[in-house]
Structure formats: C-alpha cells, structure tokens
Chain A
Amino acid sequence: MTGPLAGEPREPKQDVPVVRRVGSWLVWWVLMMSFWVMLDDSVNTDELLAGAGAAVLAATLAELVTYQAASRFRMRIEWVVPALRLPGQVARDTVTVYAALWRCLTRGEQPPSAFLELPARFGDDSPEGVTRRTLLIGGTSVAPNTFALGIDKDTDVMVVHRLVAGNSAEEET
C-alpha cells in the first residue's frame, strides 16, 4: 500500500506462533470447505471427502501466501461503523459521476479531476495497523468519484484521485 512496488519480497517482521498459524489454517479450511459445499451443492460422502482434500490444499496455500506476504489482519468493531455510510456515499458519487458524464457529452466540458492529499495517519506495521490501512484504502475506493492510491508514511497523507474534485469538503481520517 506504500513504498515499494506491489509484490516485492518483504522480510516477515513478526514471529508468528505456530498455534496462531494453525488457527489461521483452520479458518481458511472452514471457509474453503464452505465454498465447496455451496458450489458443489451435494452432501454425498465422496463429494465431501473430495472437498475436504481440496480445502486442505487451498488452506495450506492461503496460509503460506499470507505468511510470505507478512500479512496478518486484526479487526476492531469500531472500524466497521464508518462502512455504514458507504451505500449513501456510493449513491451520491454515482450521481456525481454520471452528471459529469452528461456535462461532457452535452457541453464538451471535461470533469475537473485532480489528485488530492487527504490527512490520514499511517500508523505502525502491527496487524491492527495493516488492517486499518487496508480498510481505509478499500473504503475510500468504494465510491465511484474517489480512488485512493496509498497512504504516504513520511507525510501522513492519503493520495487520492477524484473525478470531480472540490465537490465536497475534505474528510478528516
């Protein structure tokens, strides 16, 4: 989300206890098995056994990848509360974006798009910090008018691109 190009190798900075890794693997297994049952639409024993084996492979791969990426997520309930505003934001921004398209088609006006810097605390690289930044980036990029590029660690700003800039007051994050 910041700094190096996406996908560059990173040193895992945290020692993850084996118990936690096993717990994570189990969560993945339950999720993958649920997907299998939902997609296969069958509870025959042989189908379930095949699904269990496939879920073992998938969970193992998922746990390996998240360990290699040094990605650990830890949620706080209060971070979900701002998400309740998202449907309204999406509806408003959809109108904004289509209004800009209408003006472009009828009057030839290009929308006043711009890159902006919004204040956003970078935080630390703990699991909570990574999760908070992920949700912030994702939540900012849901609505059509605004996309987040990342949060700058040095200046504590979030760089965003807006199709129609200056439409609303800058948000405190």
Chain B
Amino acid sequence: MNVQDIVSGILLGLAVLIVAGASVGVLVMRDAYQKLHFVTPAALVAPVLVALAVLAQVGVYENAGETFLALLFMIIAGPFLSHATMRAIRVREKGDWRPDRSGKAPAEEKEQ
C-alpha cells in the first residue's frame, strides 16, 4: 500500500461518512425543507471528495475525464436543483414562495 492508496482511501472514507450522515439527516429531519439541506453534502461535497480520490489514485487520463465531467455537472447543477425544489415545496404549501405580505412583512418567519 503506497501513499496514493492511503490518501485515496481516506478521501473515499470521508465521502462515505458524509453520504451516510446525510442519509440519516434526510431520515430524521422534521420536514422537507430541513431534509433538503442534507442533499447538498451528498450532491456537492461527497462528489468533490470522490473526484479527488480518483485524481490521487489514477491521475488524469481520458476515462477519468468522464468521471470528472459527471461529478462536475452534479456540482454545477446541484444548487439550482435545490433552489427549484425548495421553491416548489414552498409554492405547493403556501401558494407563493414570497412571504405573506398582509400587514407588516416579518423579517424572519420561524417554522411552526
């Protein structure tokens, strides 16, 4: 086992732990808004760690480029998908994503 294997192993282990923790978060959080916050670690942080592990292990070659492309697309598209999902959940629940403007608009709206 050389240094590359150790570094790659550590990065993969971290990625697995992040995914496992995020999965538990999706299960135990109270509502869909809170659950959605645990998609980002699995869709952004873990792919970065996996990409670094691949880079550490095999370096840059043509097939690794496809792996990086897939992970890069996830990293770029993830925030916009999360934004769209959060907004859709809010619209479905309240009819509009904007806070209720009847009377004084609250600066902060605590969840019930």
A contacts B: CB pair < 8 Å: yes
Which A residues fall within an 8 A CB radius of B? Answer: 5-6, 35, 38-39, 41, 90, 94, 97-98, 101, 104-105, 110-117, 137-139, 141-145, 147-150, 152, 155, 159, 161, 163, 165
Residues on the B chain within 8 Å of A5, using CB? 91
Contact assessment for A114 and B108 in the assembled complex, using a CB-CB cutoff below 8 Å: yes
B83 within 8 A of A: yes
Residues on the B chain within 8 Å of A104, using CB? 28-29
Which B residues fall within an 8 A CB radius of A? Answer: 18, 21, 24-25, 28-30, 33-34, 36-38, 40-41, 44-45, 62-63, 65-66, 69, 78-80, 82-84, 86-88, 90-91, 97-99, 105, 107-111
**A141 and B87 in contact, given A113-B111, A150-B97 (Cβ under 8 angstroms):** no
Interface of A is mostly: mixed
Contact assessment for A41 and B62 in the assembled complex, using a CB-CB cutoff below 8 Å: yes
User: Beyond A137-B79, A137-B83, A155-B105: 5 further Cβ-contacts under 8 Å?
Assistant: A90-B45, A101-B21, A110-B30, A114-B110, A161-B86
Contact assessment for B37 and A144 in the assembled complex, using a CB-CB cutoff below 8 Å: yes
Q: Which of B28, B91, B108 is packed against the most chain A CB atoms within 10 Å? A: B108
Contact assessment for B87 and A97 in the assembled complex, using a CB-CB cutoff below 8 Å: no
Interface of B is mostly: helix
